Structure 1
Amino acid sequence: MSKPIAAPVLCCLLFLLPVLLCRTATAEHRAALLIANHAYPQAALANPAASVQSLARVLRQRGFRVELAENLSGEAIQKTIASFRRGIPTNGTALIYFSGYALQGQRNVETLDNVLLPLDGNPEKPYHLSREPYGVRQLLQELHEPGRPFAGSGSRVNLVLVEGVYAHPGQADDSPRELAQLDPALFPPQSLVAYAAPAEEGQPQSEGAFTRQLVELLEQPGQTLPAAIKAAAGRVESSLEGADWLESPATRAVSPPTQFPTTAEPGDEWVNSAGMVFCWCPPGKVLLGSPASDSLRYDDEEPVEATLSHGFWIGKYELTLQEYITIHGRNPYLATVKQKNQPVNGVDPKEFQANLLTPLNAEQHAGGALPKDWEYTLPTEAEWEYAARAGDTRRWYFGDDRSQLPQHANFADRSLYDSPDGAYGYADKVLNDGARDISPVGSYLPNAWGLHDLYGNLWEWCDGKYTPELIGGIDPQGDQTPTIRQQLVRGGCWLSPPDYCRSALRHGLEPGSKNIAHTIVGYRLVIRPTRP
């Protein structure tokens, strides 16, 4: 069967529609930064080391990667938070805990905030500090927003816990001795702030009570993180909605970001220092393509066997806008996505090599986080299909029943078919995946090795040129013939009909930074032994 022209898919790029999220309740990676400020000049607080260490212990037991910091100046807080947010796992939960003075930084209604006082902060004018990441609202915003220095992370949920003392002897006489009530409607989505209870009238504030009670609750079997925070806190301000995955155990990485694992078990995950999450694919054999009996098969899917002699790591998700910005430092010029955890698009393969792969490899090699004989790169066609199948031989990794596809993929579905402009007449008339645009990564169920969005959302560039025949053998590499203009893409996109979103479906597009087709193509990284 000959493959139909994809022109209807490309022309529909002119009609971008709002995103309808269809999140699944899956466990995620979690990271925590615990800051304990107590050695304030002329206003020292009791050293909270014991309670902070206890909190670190119970958070680690619950799967958090925990970092500790103590007695930070304003500049040190900025640098510490910047370093922490850079490594927050994509689609993960970020928790920042602060013990120290917390003061109302009110100047006007628009800038109302509660300030986490640095060691060198001026308690007489805390509103000056609310514009930095010491203000609770500002901190949440900087964790949420991509694209600015000291800002943005891959987190899906941000939690801020404040074990604060709310009165400082250096405050002006007319300064409030209590924190402001912040409006959660002004918070970024999926944010929560929890505060220690203030002192009762005429009584000194009980330092550390919030932390001690939180630790006790988290040590109880069956106690969930959200419930423990709400029970221990004096006040909670929250914009969390549908975050039921927080009630499940966290996903644990097999080793810290600084310890690269060169082998693992299928389904194991590792997070690098830029927050990118990878899943392990073991060595093995795979039958690429489709059998002659498959009615959906195209002529270029003639089966061949491939042997992958080395295991490799592959991105759990398509590369996100935030991850691209983290490495490159700026937004891609032609990208149409705006949300930080949407997959990045509009980036030409040559531009991608220069702006992401080259600096990422240089950074990871120089810092010792990646062995010199391993590299970040694009998957070969064999690696992509091997990872997508995850040991399965059917049309999709979940079987041959296309009615299950909406649980696993964002494709051209009924919501597109029903569009008022009538531009998507080729879309499926029955199946509905809940989205009408590019979805944030991880919005659908993963395969057996933990990989999301292999079908639909964005096509994914592979390493090699498109040829009419699959390449098999031992560790097959992509054809690099210069005269072949089309490069391989796999997986389909949100504008692809269901039959284009199969493990065996092959396609080619011509690279070129001004090609509108690039807005439906993204990237999924692999880490593998460097080729000779």
Structure 2
Amino acid sequence: TSQDVTDCKGGATGNVGQGVSEAGITSRDVTDCRGGAIGNVGQGVSETGITSRDVTDCKGGATGEGGVECRDVSDCMGVVMAFSVPAPYVTGGGVAFKMQEIKGGTLRMGETGRLVTVGDYMIGVTEVTQLLWLAVMGDDNDCSYKGAQNPINSVSYFDCVEFIKRLNALTEGQRPKGMVFRLPTEAEWEFAAQGGNCSESYRYAGSDDLNKVGWYAENAGELGLQQVAQRLPNELGLFDMSGNVWEWCCQKYTEDGSAEYLNEKNMPTEFDYCIVRGGSYSSEAKFCKISFRDGVMALDQGINHGLRIVLAREL
């Protein structure tokens, strides 16, 4: 509603194309948040025990209301948009998800440190959850570690492509003109993980201490996969870009320094290796570094493979 949107601070935007209140974003949810963060939005921060206040009002490593250490990210966050999937396969008014604005810039990419420039785009605040996947696809892809707020897993590159195709159809009219949901390019993924133009040059996404920002073999242990947004976000307010599930990118895997390394249109076929980034709950810490890149068969439905979407120009 107009009240919901006009009360927002820091450029926060409500559910585009539909009534904001249907997405579970009340005026109070938004007005209590600063710097563009949005509270309770279906798979939002507050459901995980980390409220918008925890993330945006805390400075210097203080502990927020959810008992989770928090940081002030207000200076680094732009507009946050909330979209809603009509959710024909689940009950209720729809499943909302958040996209964080990323202002383009230049980064030193990968372990080779090659200079790369990216344009403006938006990226998912969290990995795609099982709830959102179910709403779009009608099933949970027979994934493991079931839970509405757990990341979808056991998905191949081509499963992700089909999910995004359907998501674009369901959000027709909500998306800004010329923008589509898709998998990130490798450069887009790494720029966001680094913290964009607010990067503090951490080893992992948001800290040099992986235990603060991600789930990996040493702290996940037998528990395995965890709900999204249980650790600290990075400088841009993005959760779990180190650990939890490997995240597919849109390009075929090539070696650092090769002629095709930065070709955004170098898409994999079913027999190609595709880029995955970020490590997972079962990974050693070294595989969760922002700079680490790996390739997996595009058809592989690994138990620790998931995705994070971007809203950007079509490739």
- Fold conserved (TM > 0.5)? yes
Find the residue that maps to 1:287 and give its secondary structure.
strand
Report the counterpart of residue 292 of structure 2 in structure 1. 505
Give the aligned residue type for 1:348. Answer: S
Report the counterpart of residue 113 of structure 2 in structure 1. 303
* 1:126-525 alignment, distance < 5 Å: 153-154=42-43, 244=65, 266-274=77-85, 275-290=96-111, 302-308=112-118, 310-332=119-141, 334-354=142-162, 356-365=163-172, 368-390=173-195, 391=197, 392=199, 393-398=201-206, 401=208, 404-413=209-218, 416=221, 436-469=223-256, 476-477=263-264, 479-480=266-267, 482=269, 485-512=272-299, 515=300, 518-525=302-309
CA contact (8 A) 2:164 2:181 kept: yes
Identity, in percent, stands at 23
CA contact (8 A) 1:464 1:480 kept: yes
Seen in structure 2, the aligned counterparts of structure 1 residues 470 and 319 have a Cα distance that, compared at 3 Å, is farther
Find the residue that maps to 1:330 and give its secondary structure.
coil
CA deviation after TM superposition for structure 1 residue 370, in Å: 1.5
CA deviation after TM superposition for structure 1 residue 268, in Å: 2.9
CA deviation after TM superposition for structure 1 residue 351, in Å: 2.5
CA deviation after TM superposition for structure 1 residue 288, in Å: 0.3
Seen in structure 2, the aligned counterparts of structure 1 residues 360 and 495 have a Cα distance that, compared at 3 Å, is same
Two-structure CA RMSD over aligned residues (Å): 3.8
CA contact (8 A) 1:466 1:484 kept: no
Seen in structure 2, the aligned counterparts of structure 1 residues 335 and 397 have a Cα distance that, compared at 3 Å, is closer
Q: Deviations over 1:277-304 (max 9, x none)?
A: 11111111111023xxxxxxxxxxx221
CA deviation after TM superposition for structure 1 residue 276, in Å: 1.1
CA deviation after TM superposition for structure 1 residue 387, in Å: 0.6
Seen in structure 2, the aligned counterparts of structure 1 residues 155 and 501 have a Cα distance that, compared at 3 Å, is closer
Give the aligned residue type for 2:166. Answer: P
CA deviation after TM superposition for structure 1 residue 484, in Å: 6.0
CA deviation after TM superposition for structure 1 residue 62, in Å: 7.9
Seen in structure 2, the aligned counterparts of structure 1 residues 285 and 304 have a Cα distance that, compared at 3 Å, is same
Distance in 1 (CA, whole Å) between partners of 2:204 and 2:233 is 12
Distance in 2 (CA, whole Å) between partners of 1:329 and 1:93 is 29
Give the aligned residue type for 1:527. Answer: L
Distance in 2 (CA, whole Å) between partners of 1:386 and 1:460 is 14
Give the aligned residue type for 1:340. Answer: A
Q: Deviations over 1:71-108 (max 9, x none)?
A: xxxxxxxxx99x966x347xx979xxxxxxxxxxxxxx
CA contact (8 A) 1:488 1:509 kept: yes
CA contact (8 A) 1:289 1:470 kept: no
Find the residue that maps to 1:383 and give its secondary structure.
helix
CA contact (8 A) 1:374 1:527 kept: yes
Seen in structure 2, the aligned counterparts of structure 1 residues 471 and 286 have a Cα distance that, compared at 3 Å, is farther
Find the residue that maps to 2:217 and give its secondary structure.
coil
CA contact (8 A) 1:321 1:342 kept: yes
CA contact (8 A) 1:465 1:480 kept: yes
Distance in 2 (CA, whole Å) between partners of 1:371 and 1:314 is 14
Give the aligned residue type for 1:464. Answer: Q
Q: Deviations over 1:287-341 (max 9, x none)?
A: 1023xxxxxxxxxxx2211111x20000000000111112223322x31132111
Give the aligned residue type for 2:216. Answer: F
Bigger Cα displacement from structure 2, 449-458 vs 268-277: 268-277
CA deviation after TM superposition for structure 1 residue 394, in Å: 4.3
Q: Which runs of 5+ in 2 are unaligned?
A: 31-41, 50-63, 67-75, 86-95
Distance in 1 (CA, whole Å) between partners of 2:83 and 2:259 is 31
Give the aligned residue type for 1:285. Answer: T
Find the residue that maps to 1:276 and give its secondary structure.
strand
Q: Deviations over 1:242-278 (max 9, x none)?
A: x936xxxxxxxxxxxxxxxxxxx74431111231111
CA contact (8 A) 1:381 1:478 kept: no
Seen in structure 2, the aligned counterparts of structure 1 residues 473 and 281 have a Cα distance that, compared at 3 Å, is farther
Seen in structure 2, the aligned counterparts of structure 1 residues 93 and 495 have a Cα distance that, compared at 3 Å, is farther
TM-score (norm 1): 0.44
Seen in structure 2, the aligned counterparts of structure 1 residues 270 and 371 have a Cα distance that, compared at 3 Å, is closer
CA deviation after TM superposition for structure 1 residue 395, in Å: 2.3
Find the residue that maps to 1:337 and give its secondary structure.
coil
- Number of residues paired by the alignment? 265
CA contact (8 A) 1:306 1:472 kept: no
Seen in structure 2, the aligned counterparts of structure 1 residues 372 and 157 have a Cα distance that, compared at 3 Å, is closer
Larger radius of gyration: 1
TM-score (norm 2): 0.71
CA deviation after TM superposition for structure 1 residue 343, in Å: 0.6
Give the aligned residue type for 2:139. Answer: R
